[in-house]
Amino acid sequence: MHKIFTSLYFKYAVVVSSMSLLVILMIYLIVVNKELSDNHTSLIVATHEIKLNTALAHLNINEINSNNFNHNYVEIVSNIDNALWYTNAMLLGGSKDELDIKSLKDANLQENVIKLKKQLTLFKLTVLDRLNADLQFAESQKQAQEQINLYKDTLVQVLQVQNEIHSFIKAEKKKNFLVELFLFISSSVLFVSTLIILKRSVNKFKNGQAKVEETLKENIRLNKQHRQQNIKLNKILNAYKDGVYLSSESCEIQFLNKAMIEEIGHNAVGEKCYKAINGLDERCSWCYQKNLIDEKHTSIELEREGKNFIVSSSLLNDNSKITVYHDISNIKKIENELQNQVKEYEILNKQLISAKESAEESNLLKTEFLNNMSHEIRTPMNGILGFAELLKNPDLDLDKRNNFITIIKNSGIQLLHIIDDILDISILETKQVKIFEEEICLNDSLLELFSIFDLKAKENKTPLFFKKELSDEQSTILIDNTKLNKVLSNLLENALKFTSEGFIELGYYIENKGETPNLVIYVKDTGIGISSDDYTLIFDRFSQAEKQPLNNAGGLGLGLSIAKENTELLGGTISVKSIKGKGSTFFISIPYNPVNHKTVDLSNNHENAPVILIAEDEEVNFIYLETLLTDILHIDCKILHAKNGQEAVDICKQNETVQIVLMDIKMPLMCGCEATRQIRAFKPDLPIIAQTAFSTQEDINKTLGSGCNEVLSKPINKTEFKDVIDRYLNVLA
């Protein structure tokens, strides 16, 4: 701050001079003018006190302006208050320090003293305003000038009051010319001294003003430079593609660049950053991170409105924060694309590895197939060539010769099957196989197939059963019978090959008896079974679930593959359910295509039809009896099948609806007679009709004695059978 007065020596000299003159004046007044009245003396003293306190106040202000704080505003106000007291005393009267001041009676003097009082009061208020004002430089200079001007006005008013008092005293006491002369000279000296002080003060003020102007110009230049730098910085930040904002310690936004405004959609200066930018009700999580507090910087990855950002926040010295939102959405997109490509490459690599392994496995399978085919061809060829050589012996007896011929024939048939499989797979590989649909009775076709394989099953001592669901009319369908027989033949061959105990069952049923029903034909066995891991493998070419050869199990591993491809040609699918060691069931699901759609009813509603149990271990005999009941006699009934005596007893116990039992006498586990006796124990009135190959009267009596109602001798006569069934059905009706 530039000060008006810088020379303390000059100021003290002026003050000392003024005080000396005033002291001399006072001594003179006391010594020389004894005759003056006490009132006049007190008035003169009061005016001098006013001038003295005013001068001291001005001196203290100058010391404050010169950065000399030996005095303070309290002393300045105290000086002005003393001057005000004397003006009040001159108006109202008062005593102080043994000085008794009488109030003025002259109206003009009172008016001038009142003006002086107002001037002093204004002077005091100005000092107090400066005390409360901001210590900015320009404001302090302005107040200093005002105080100088006010001091001039106050001094003029003091001199006016003094002159008036002098005039009053002169009028009162014209005799004391020397006193008036001395007062005039003293006043003149004081006035001149004051003018000199004012002149010097004005010069000092002008010098200080010049320095102030120079300082102001420098400040203006610096402010202009600062503004230019701010404009340049704003341009740089607005050109920056990343969003940038500055927030205070209390999270109020102080600045946003153009990119940040575009990102949030409005200029959010003055708003809370966490609310305006991130839509939160409290501070963002990274404001509390240890990195920001300890290291003054933190960086996190954030997702906002479907975009990805790296948010970097730095703490400044005043605890404000500058935060940068770096958009990494494109980078993330590229990363995701790269990751997807990597995944695709991994999948492709796996596929290549799988293809390589498949190729290697296929190559290995083909090698195994060729080795196996060599073995399978050589085995029957060995039988053919070997036994053909033995037939050359003329001494060979007839039985051996016939046996050798049979072996040669079977070996030829086996070799023919191998050739057929190879030809079939070759034809299927061309994808040129056509379907030739024809009208067939499924029941007849499957029965014919059953008859062929039943002979083989008997040779293996493995029972083969056949189950049907539809009547001959319902089972008349359009299908390629050759391909269907090829599929079922392969399945039955496998069942016979891998089943040494238990049974094999061929059957069918209708699935989804609605608008699009499917015909499901199945082959069930109780053989070695298949692991669930091999469900897909077994339908591949040259593959077998069992790598090690089994007893009586040969083949090229093409049977199921041929069955699968032929099933697909028929428009169906093939599947398997199996338990290792307990057996397998193969299912062929093909569209059900009856010849006459309008007349075929698949509901098979047997709610009111009689239930007939056929206990027969021979499947051919069961099929014969079933055919007699349903197709020959046209009896609307529900047929149950028991394969031995124990099963017949269990069915009768569990099924209360059984109304007639056709009981074979010779059956495994439990004979028909024993089964009849046990059934009679809980169903004494149930009609049981025996069917037996024992035809002697003794056998008949024994059968009747066990509890049977009728005995039919095999072969069963169709007319006799009809009479017996009709008789018991009529009784039941």
Q: What is the CATH number of the domain that holds 423?
A: 1.10.287.130
- Which tens digit of pLDDT belongs to each residue from 492-515? 988 988 888 888 999 999 988 767
**Mind giving me the DSSP string for 388-445?**
HHHTT-TT--HHHHHHHHHHHHHHHHHHHHHHHHHHHHHHHHTT------EEEEHHHH
Claim to verify: residue 428 and residue 439 sit in the same structural domain: no
Instruction: Give residue 365's pLDDT.
Output: 64
Claim to verify: residue 471 and residue 570 sit in the same structural domain: yes
In a domain? residue 540: yes
Last residue of a domain, one of 560, 591, 622: 591
Q: By the 8 A CB rule, do 8 and 41 touch?
A: no
Claim to verify: residue 139 and residue 71 sit in the same structural domain: yes
CA distance 206 to 362: 111
**67-71, 184-188, 445-449, 583-587, range with greatest mean pLDDT:** 583-587
Question: Per the structure, how many domains does the chain have?
Answer: 5
Claim to verify: residue 470 and residue 580 sit in the same structural domain: yes
Claim to verify: residue 380 and residue 462 sit in the same structural domain: no
How far, in Å, are 184, 233, 570 from residue 25 at the CA level? 11, 70, 146
Closest CA to 29 of 41, 18, 19, 38: 41
Q: Backbone dihedral region of 653: left (phi > 0), alpha (psi from -120 to 50 degrees) or beta?
A: alpha
Interval 18-35 mean pLDDT:
56
- Which tens digit of pLDDT belongs to each residue from 197-240? 666 766 766 676 677 778 778 878 887 777 777 777 777 767 66
In a domain? residue 680: yes
- Which tens digit of pLDDT belongs to each residue from 304-355? 777 777 777 777 777 777 888 777 778 878 888 888 888 888 898 888 888 8
Claim to verify: residue 621 and residue 526 sit in the same structural domain: no
Claim to verify: residue 171 and residue 198 sit in the same structural domain: yes
In a domain? residue 334: no
Claim to verify: residue 448 and residue 421 sit in the same structural domain: no
Q: What is the CATH number of the domain that holds 490?
A: 3.30.565.10
Q: By the 8 A CB rule, do 53 and 82 touch?
A: yes
Claim to verify: residue 499 and residue 470 sit in the same structural domain: yes
Claim to verify: residue 519 and residue 414 sit in the same structural domain: no
Strands 476-479 and 438-441: antiparallel
Q: Which helix (H) or strand (E) holds 563?
A: helix 559-569
In a domain? residue 457: yes
- Which tens digit of pLDDT belongs to each residue from 433-460? 788 889 999 988 898 888 888 888 888 8
- Which tens digit of pLDDT belongs to each residue from 568-589? 888 999 999 998 888 999 999 9
Strands 297-304 and 253-256: unpaired
Last residue of a domain, one of 591, 620, 635: 591
In a domain? residue 31: yes
Instruction: Examine the pLDDT at 61 and tell me if it is beyond 80.
Output: no
Quote the domain boundaries for residue 694: 611-732
Interval 555-570 mean pLDDT:
79
DSSP reduced 3-state for 152: helix
- Chain-centre distance for alpha carbon 235: 39
- Look up the pTM and report it: 0.46
In a domain? residue 465: yes
In a domain? residue 664: yes
Q: Sort 477 into a burial class: Cβ within 10 Å, 0-12 / 13-18 / 19+.
A: buried
Q: What is the CATH number of the domain that holds 677?
A: 3.40.50.2300
How does residue 288 score in pLDDT terms, banded at 50, 70 and 90?
A: low
Those residues whose C-beta lies under 8 Å from the C-beta of residue 216, and which sit 6 or more positions away, are 138
Average pLDDT in the chain: 76
Closest CA to 663 of 655, 178, 652, 193: 652
525 vs 99, residue with greater confidence: 525
Q: Sort 120 into a burial class: Cβ within 10 Å, 0-12 / 13-18 / 19+.
A: buried
Claim to verify: residue 104 and residue 187 sit in the same structural domain: yes
Claim to verify: residue 439 and residue 567 sit in the same structural domain: yes
In a domain? residue 233: no
How does residue 648 score in pLDDT terms, banded at 50, 70 and 90?
A: very high
Q: By the 8 A CB rule, do 681 and 591 touch?
A: no
Last residue of a domain, one of 432, 456, 475: 432
